Amino acid sequence: MRVAVALCTYNGARFLQAQLDSLAAQRRRPDALVVGDDGSTDGTLEILERFAGESGTGIRVDIRRNSRNLGFAANFDATLRRSDGDVVFLCDQDDVWHPDKIARMCGEFERRPRLGLLHTDARLVDVDGQDMGCGLFEALEMTAAEIAAEHAGRAFDVLLRRNTVTGATAAIRREALHEALPVAEGWVHDEWLALRTSLGWEVDCLPWASIDYRQHGANQIGMRRRTLREKLAGIDRPKRVFMQDVADRLTLFLQRCDDAGLPLPQDRRDEILARIGHARYRAGLPTTLASRLRAVLAESRAGGYHRFSSGWRSIASDVVDLK
């Protein structure tokens, strides 16, 4: 089984060497490191070129510098397209991989031919690499029921409700990756790959920390413990905007599936349409308390909050109209 690592960089010189060292220290080293640099100006390319020139690692390094800045999602899309391993590992520039990451995850892919995407827990560390006392699954508030559903082959049900996959911990089988690309506009790459892969493959998780996931001010996407207000709201931007965005992105997801000629089972299509309807309903709740309360109770009786949101937490958020 050939392994490729897809690494996207942008002004990552501060932490990049530690990440590269952790790749070289893997018990099962990758066959290829495919790098997409998005116009770094801080010495990132020099670090990459020095690593590529080091003898003894046995890792083929393919570095491509974009002629213009593509942005985070588009750069990952382009880099994943160039990655030719049987299994492709997604890699951030500022983390540190634990030595058994590749060997342990490849073992799962070798043992399970229908496993399309696998993701793991992570240890959250601060800018200096110190343990923050919180795991990634804990920060995501990933429940035992969600983990069990992924183990049981029901990842689609989990991922339609919310994304639980963090790309920095994920690996994807080549065939599943080719089916999923390109990443649709407006989607984060890991969320798109996970949901799209769950339509035809197993998506599963290992509740084991495969990386140190560094948290710092320059992170593209970071994790932390949320405040009580954020837990009630469940989002970090205006709720109505967020819900409309969910509906729009899932509508695009369906269109892309249809354009690709994907034979989507009717029950899956119905679930996606119901999720879109729930998001639009929440986006359009009345602003007056009495009308909003009636609308929330109606959607609660219909089961939408428990199927597609966070149950009573989301009901409470909508009743008090947390923005």
Confidence grade of residue 281 (pLDDT, cut at 50, 70, 90): very high
Mean pLDDT of 237-258: 93
Q: Which of 75-79, 168-172, 201-205, 226-230 has the lowest mean pLDDT?
A: 226-230
Distance, in Å, from the CA atom of 195 to the CA atom of 4, rounded to the nearest integer, reads: 22
CATH of domain 3-214: 3.90.550.10
The kind and range of the H/E element at 289 are: helix 289-301
Q: Tokens 């990443």 label which residue? A: 183
Residue 226: pLDDT over 60: no
Closest C-alpha among 79, 72, 2, 7 to residue 45: 7
Residue 21: pLDDT over 80: yes
Distance, in Å, from the CA atom of 314 to the CA atom of 317, rounded to the nearest integer, reads: 5
Q: Domain boundaries in the chain?
A: 3-214, 228-320
Beta bridge partners of 158: none
Q: Tokens 């969600």 label which residue? A: 146
Give the pair of three-digit tokens for residue 294.
């009636």
Q: Which of 121-130, 194-203, 314-323 has the lowest mean pLDDT?
A: 314-323
Residue 73: pLDDT over 60: yes
Cis amide bond preceding 182, omega within 30:
yes
Write out pLDDT tens, residues 96-135. 999 999 999 999 999 999 999 999 999 999 999 999 999 9
